Amino acid sequence: MRILDLIEAKKIGRALSSEEIRWAVGAYIRGDVPDYQMAALLMAIRWRGLDASEAALLTRAMVDSGDSYTWTPPTGLAVDKHSTGGVGDKVSLILAPLVAAAGATIPMISGRGLGHTGGTLDKLESIPGLRTTLSAARFRAVVEKLGFAMGAQTEALVPADRLLYALRDATGTVDDSGLITASILSKKIAEGARALVLDVKVGSGAFFADLEAARALATRLRAVASESHVACSALITDMNQPLGCAIGNTLEVEESMQCLSGGGPDDLRELVLVLGAEMLRLAGLAGEGRARLEQLLDDGSARERFLAMVEAQGGDAGRVDRGGLPRAASRTSVTAATDGYIAAIDCRALGLAAIALRAGRDTLDDVIDPTAGLIVDKRLGDEVRTGEEWLSLHHGAGADVDRALNLVHAALTISDDPLEAPPLIHEHIR
């Protein structure tokens, strides 16, 4: 087979066969297809799309590109949660230790920053020493000891997603529902989750801004999950403003620690509790639920479990516990130009501003500044006064502060009249 023939086929919108999809995935991970040709195929897919059968075939081919794990938890099914990508979305850092503290088994394989969105792995790796690339034996030992581990795709586990994920990030080919479906579900099937809660984001900071497209993505994800015998439900949640206040890796770990200590922003805590209760329900852990999760956040059990994972994965848990993570060298305040109410926030622009400060990558080789990011003090519907700070930039060497300032200034819309903020949870598809 020749990759050029597949690029030509997809360019004119022909569906790829199972043999073609398997061949392309295999040839790419063996290094027989170069990045530039795979990028061309991804762009053709981005424009022409994958039908339901191609998305399922790509998912399977990506799972089969490496090993798979299986689990026999003491109680319930191995369970996980995955978000389709957002800004300030640090939920996994809180949810995995919390639900593990409630007795569930969570073998969580996550991703890095993708497009304008942040990634769980980059957030975790902002903790000095913490490793997310774990051998199968190490990953299993951490899950067996703590009920959860938080790892990356490796050369052995979903290697196809490891490579394609990074390539999509650097080639503007993220926002395709078939590619998102295969990327998310290949990780979750290979890690051995038998139950999965999907947090499908909608709004200005999501890959799909309108509810209909988010619903279609949720439906496609659930159909492919069910073909692979993974019990799956989806919540469509709001991403018209960042989740919580912090955007950027160390800043988000710090905000997660507040939530793990029973505090933190209300929207973050609420979403963690709703997703956590749904994970327990799907995992079959009857008797557990929201009240138990609230207790585990408030009594420090979830925080303790998170710190134990940090230590088990090589990180400096003492430093995280003391609030001693490195801080950005500089802070720039951004103020409102007029009086009024926050009517809209272009959340994607805030994600791009964080990348301009080096909290994320523009190219495959970019090195992240873990301390860089934004703190957003105002929420949709809040009142602001002229000259009042609504956001601050946190940055160090190499940050393009001018680009970030242009993006955040243009991101804010202030209106004269008060308005209602959107709901945090739009729909729950069971």
Residues marked active site are found at 82, 161, 168, 183, 187
- 237 binding ligand URA? (CB under 6 A): no
Question: What's the helix, strand, coil split of the chain in %, to 5?
Answer: 45, 15, 40
- 184 binding ligand URA? (CB under 6 A): yes
**DSSP bridge pairs for 106:** 148
Nearest approach, Cβ of 360 to ligand URA (angstroms)? 14
Residue nearest to ligand URA (CB): 183
Q: Nearest 10 degrees: CA dihedral of 222, 226, 228, 229?
A: 140
| Out of 43, 87, 95, 114, the residue judged to bind ligand URA by CB under 6 A | 114
- 91 binding ligand URA? (CB under 6 A): no
- 111 binding ligand URA? (CB under 6 A): yes
Name the residue nearer to ligand URA (CB basis): 76 or 119: 119
Site for ligand URA in 69-88 (CB under 6 A): 84-85
Name the residue nearer to ligand URA (CB basis): 114 or 411: 114
Nearest approach, Cβ of 122 to ligand URA (angstroms)? 13
Planar angle of CA 136, 369, 202, nearest 5 degrees: 75
CA-CA distance, 76 to 107, in Å (whole number)?
13
| Out of 65, 92, 183, 240, the residue judged to bind ligand URA by CB under 6 A | 183
Q: What is the DSSP string of 150-185?
A: EE---SSBSHHHHHHHHHHHHHT----HHHHHHHHH
Nearest approach, Cβ of 124 to ligand URA (angstroms)? 15
Helix H or strand E segment including 212: helix 211-227
- Identify whether the C-beta of residue 407 lies closer than 8 Å to the C-beta of residue 357: no
Nearest approach, Cβ of 187 to ligand URA (angstroms)? 6
**DSSP bridge pairs for 81:** 197
- 351 binding ligand URA? (CB under 6 A): no
Q: Nearest 10 degrees: CA dihedral of 30, 36, 39, 40?
A: -120
Q: Rule CB under 6 A: which residues touch ligand URA?
A: 84-85, 111, 114, 174, 179-180, 183-184, 187
